[in-house]
Each structure stands twice: as structure tokens, then as C-alpha cells.
Structure 1
Amino acid sequence: MQTSALVPHARLPRTYHDRHVLTSTVDAFGTAHWLLTARAPAPGGDRHPYDALVVSVREDGGVEVTELSALRARFPHLDRLPDGGFVVASARARRADADGSQVQVFDALGRGTWSFTVGDAIEHLLADPSGALWVGHFDENPAGIRRWSATGELRWQSGDVPGSGWIMDCYALNVSDSVVWACPYTDFPLLEIRPGRPVRVRANAVRGAKAVAVHAGRVAFLGGYGEEQDRIAYGELTDTAVEPAGAAVLTRPDGAPLGRRRVVARAARIHVQEEPFTEWAVLDLSG
């Protein structure tokens, strides 16, 4: 099978390499962010609030640093809001339910402004350019996909999608400016979600993808089961289905195999970050 190499996107400045990376992401505008603490949390530790830095690296190489205090998330998701603030959410809500601090919102100066709960088992939390928060859950929460305001108001939920059924596990989620794409378990249809319209469902033969990118009628799925975790499966969109259009093996920019990684999908791009989680690379379907 042919290979497709990632392209370097953003790198954490060496100044911060002595810190522990709690999590990292790429926002809706292409800026990469790292949530850093002085040391790794102790295994099985409690939920005492802690302080952290967010180091942000723009596509032009510019760097910004924001101090956040009194964070509670043990297994955090991070994203930036369009006003320059940040949202930090704990993947698990079981302990946070009591105090409503599963999701914490900070302003551009790092000051806490809101906290609320969106439900247990967060697989994806991505902010769109309007500031809405899209949450996709894994299989311990049957809520599927939901859209929240940055102040904790539920604005939309997937429910029972005609032609797809109930979303049991949101494997892949892509949030951009005007459309959200999802690929859920168990039949892995490609869902096209646009505000104010019924969800559009396309049949899809690719199973187990962890990320999806879409551009100009083309689609790329990253991942799968077993030996297919590095597979890129390409397709063409029709009115009702994704038609297969070839496959490749995704590699590092230098052509080497990928290791353990996290992925974030935005519009035409799939961003990939490997251990030790200090660099982001990208596959851009539009290029």
C-alpha cells in the first residue's frame, strides 16, 4: 500500500519541555495549544485544584502563554474560544457532578468565569468559531453528540438520527465553521450536521476510524481496528453514501511509522500528535 506523510504544523517551544503535558489540541483557527503542569499528577490522586499554563503556538510561529488557576480536571480536554478564553473539561463527570465544575471556562486573561457539567464519558470536546462547544461521548454515556453554549446551555442533541439510529459511541468528530462531521459506532455512517437542518446520513464502509476530514466532496478517514490504525481511507461523497477512493498508510513527516498519538480533526485537516506530545503534524485534504 502507498504511504502518505504528515507535514509539520506546530512545536512546543523547548523552554517548556521540562513541564508535563496534560493535554494538547488544535483550535478552529489552526493554533496549537498545550496544557502544562510542573509535574505529572500522582496516579490515583485526588481532585485538589491545581494551576497550569496554556502555551499557544500560532501557524505563523507566534507564541502566547496564559496562566490558569484552580483547575479540577484529572483527564482534561482543552480548547480555545474565539474571544481568546479557554475551556477545560474533565472526561469523567462522576465526581464533578456534585459541584458542577466538570467544564471550566476561563477568559483571555486566565480568570475563571463559568463552570457547568455536560455529562460523563467525553470522547471529544471541540469549540466551533462561534464559541459553541460540541461534545461527543463514548459508550459509557448514550447522549451521543450535543452542542452547548460556553455558559452551559444545551442547544442541540443528536438523539435518534433517522437513517442512523442512536449514537452509541462517537468515534470521530470534526468541527469547523459551518458544519460538523461525525462517524459513530456501530455502523459508522458519515453524519453531516448543520445548524437548523436535519442530520444528513451517508452509508460508509470504513469501520473504526478515529478521525475524519472532508473537503470539496472528498473525505479521508484515519484509523481502524487492529493493523488498520495507521490507515487513511479516501472516499468521494454522493447524496447517500461515501464511495471508496483508495487508501494509504499515514506516516511521520520523515516517513517513519506512527507511534501512540492523539488526533484532532478540523474541516479538511487531520492533526496528529505523537508521544511525547510536543509536536503537531497535519494531513491536509485540501492540499
Structure 2
Amino acid sequence: MQKTALVPYAHLPRSHHDRHVLTSTVDVFGTAHWLLAGRPPQPGGDVRPFDALVVSVHPGGSVELTELNAVRARRPRLDRLPDGGFVVAAPRTRRCEDAHQVQVFDALGRETSSFSVGDAIEHLLVDEAGHVWVGHFDENPAGIRRWSPTGRLAWTSDGARIPGLFDCYALNVSGTAAWACPYTDFPLVEIRPDRPDRPVRVWTNRIRGAKAVAVHGARVAFYGGYGEERDRLAHGELTETSVEPTDVGLLTLPDGPAPGHRRVVSRGSRIYVQAEPFTTWGVFDLTS
């Protein structure tokens, strides 16, 4: 089986390796971010607000530091807003009405607002216009929704006729659009809320269980799967109504082994992968 190696993309500077990595992501403009704390959150009980450091590594290699004040999320999701601020969210809530689940920080690290998007966040990705896209896993039937950075619900998958949307396995946000591959039917879904004539397109798909998806023109790639297909990289071509598989291989780390426990972020034609100890991002680009 053909193996495709990730290309090294971004590294957390060694001067920050003494801190605990709470989470990490790559934003819509290609900048990698690490949210760091002095120590890992204590298990059990409420999380007391704590200060955290965001280390941002831009595509050209320059490094930017932002101190965030009074972060409340235990296992946070993170992304950057186009104005230089950040969104930090707790994936689980004890009450769906929890008003402090999502914190919005300005470019100086000061909290400016907070709101709730509901329990069971699987993905949280910000687009180029500053909309916050949230894909939920199966403990919340909300599916996929788009929010304004001030907490206004701007789009919902309710009534969108996406077949089998019980868990948003894969979500790709690029530009101001999103692509998804949800459980249980695993269709490939294109979402463009600002396109009035056809905001949602759906292609049937036989590739099951992918955790990330990349799209470029009529080409698509799915990463991940069940069991022995955990490191699968499956390619396909888009027809008018379906994804037609073309070939299947494995995606590996730059030095050869499988990633093991990892994070993934999908952005347009790219799938970013980060393996333990979560200090390095690699990238697969469908255009390469």
C-alpha cells in the first residue's frame, strides 16, 4: 500500500516546551497556535480561571505571543479571529445554557464576550469572515452550526437535508465555506450559507469513518477510519452526485511511522496532523 509522508509545517519553539500544551490548531490563514499553561488542569471539580499563553507561529516562521486572562475551559478548543483575537471554548457543558462556554478574547488577551453554543463540541473552526463553525458529536443533535463572534446563531443544519447527520466526524472550514463528512451515512457535504440558490450540496460517499477531509476542485481526500484503517488516506473524484474512490494509501509522519494519538485540522486542500507530544504540525496538501 502506498505511503504518503506528512510535510513538516510548524514547530512550537523549544523555549516553550516546559509548559503544558492544552490544545493546538492551525487557523484559516495557515498560522499554527498552541495554547499553553503552567501545568495541566487538575482532574475533577470545577476549573478555576487561569492565565494561559498562546504561541503563534506564522507561515513565514515569525513567532507571536498573546497572554489570555482568566481562561475557564478544562479541555479547550481554540482558534483565532481575523482581528487578532482568539476564541476559546469548553467542549462539554453541564448545562447547555452555560453562558460562559465560549470565551472571546481581543488581540491583547482580554475577554470581551462569552456565550454558549451547546454541549458536545467535536470541531470549532473560525472562517475568514470571523464566523465560528461548530460541529457536534452525537450527544448533541445540533449537528453543524455557524455563529457570529458575538454569539448570534447565523446558520444551522436543521432542515438542511443532510442524510444521517448524528455526529460531525470531519469538518473543513476554508474561506467562508465548510465541508463536512458526518456519521452515520458519511456523505460529503459542502456548506455555503451565503449562496442563496443552493447553500448545501451533498454527494453520496462509500468511504466510512474519516476524521478529516481535504477538497480541491473535483478531487477529495479522506483521512482516518475504523480499526486498521485509522491511518488510511483515501482519494476520490467528485461526480455530479457521488464521490468515486480512486486509490487508498497510508498517511505517515515525516520520518515514517504512523502518527498514533493525534490532532487533525482540515483547511481547504490541506489536512494538518499533530502527533504526541503535540509540539509539531505536519501537513498533507491535496494540490501537491
TM bucket (normalised to shorter chain) is over 0.9
Corresponding residue of 2:189: 191
CA deviation map 1:19-51 (0-9, x unaligned): 000000000000000000001111114221111
Which runs of structure 2 are paired with 1:267-282 in the superposition (5 Å)?
267-282=268-283
**Partners of 1:178 and 1:134 in 2: how far apart?**
10
Structure 2 matches for 1:114-133, cutoff 5 A?
Answer: 114-133=113-132
Separation in 2 of the partners of 1:76 and 1:198? 30
Deviations along 1:174-226, one digit per CA (max 9) or x if unpaired, are: 00004210000101000011123331010000000000000021000000000
**Counterparts in 2 of 1:4 and 1:227: CA distance versus 1, 3 Å:** same
- The answer to whether the 8 Å contact 1:214/1:285 transfers is yes
Show the counterpart of 2:30.
Answer: 30
- Aligned match of 2:136: 137
How many residue pairs end up in the alignment? 285
Contact 2:77/2:89, CA 8 A, preserved across alignment: yes
Partner of 2:266: 265
Tell me, in whole angstroms, the C-alpha distance in 2 between the residues paired with 1:60 and 1:45: 41
Q: Alignment partner of 2:15: what SS?
A: helix
Structure 2 distance, partners of 1:71, 1:166, is 35
Counterpart check, 1:207 vs 2:205? no
One-letter amino acid of the counterpart of residue 132, structure 1: H
Instruction: Give the whole-Å Cα distance in 2 for the aligned partners of 1:273 and 1:36.
Output: 15
Mapped contact 1:160–1:166 kept (Cα < 8 A) = no
Q: Which residue of 1 aligns with 2:88?
A: 88
DSSP-derived class of the 1:182 partner? strand
CA distances 1:97-143 after superposition (whole Å, capped 9, x unpaired):
34x11000001111110100000000000000000000000000000
Q: How far does residue 166 in structure 1 lie from its aligned partner after superposition?
A: 5.2
Residue 55 of structure 1 deviates from its aligned partner by: 0.2
Aligned-residue offset at 1:96: 7.3
The two structures have a TM-score, normalised by structure 2, of: 0.97
Aligned equivalents of 2:47, 2:91: Cα separation in 1: 13
Question: Judging changes above 3 Å, is the alpha-carbon distance between structure 1 residues 108 and 81 closer, same or farther for their aligned structure 2 residues?
Answer: same
Q: What is the rounded CA distance, in whole Å, between the counterparts of 2:129 and 2:44 in structure 1?
A: 36
Letter in 1 for 2:19: R
Q: Where do 1:42-61 residues align within 5 Å?
A: 42-61=42-61
**SS at the partner of 2:97?**
helix
User: How far apart are residue 95 of structure 1 and its match?
Assistant: 5.2
Aligned-partner residue type, residue 182 of structure 2: P
What's the TM-score, normalizing by structure 1?
0.97
Identity of aligned residues (%): 68
Cα deviation, 1:156-175, whole Å, max 9, x if unaligned, reads 0001433x335210000000
C-alpha distance in structure 2 between counterparts of 1:45 and 1:273, whole Å? 29
- Secondary structure at the counterpart of residue 263 of structure 2: strand
Unaligned runs of 5+ in 2: none
Q: Are the equivalent residues in 2 in contact too, given 1:159–1:167 (CA < 8 A)?
A: no
State the AA in 2 paired with 1:202: W
Match of 1:232 in 2: 233
Aligned equivalents of 1:87, 1:263: Cα separation in 2: 18
Distance 2:185 2:277 in 1: 33
Matched, 1:111 2:110: yes
Q: Is the 8 A contact 2:164 2:183 kept in 1?
A: no
Asked whether the equivalents of residues 134 and 144 of structure 2 are also in contact (C-alpha less than 8 Å), the reply is yes
The answer (yes or no) to whether the contact 1:144–1:169 under 8 Å persists in 2 is yes
Q: Return the letter of the residue paired with 1:194.
A: R
- Asked if 1:13 corresponds to 2:16, the answer is no
Residue 286 of structure 1: how far off its partner (Å) = 1.1
Alpha-carbon displacement from aligned partner over 1:60-105 (angstroms, at most 9, x marks no partner): 110000000111111100000000000000001225734x110000
1:58 to partner: Cα distance: 0.6
Query: What residue in structure 2 maps to residue 256 of structure 1?
Result: 257
Task: Give the equivalent residue in structure 2 for 1:177.
Answer: 175
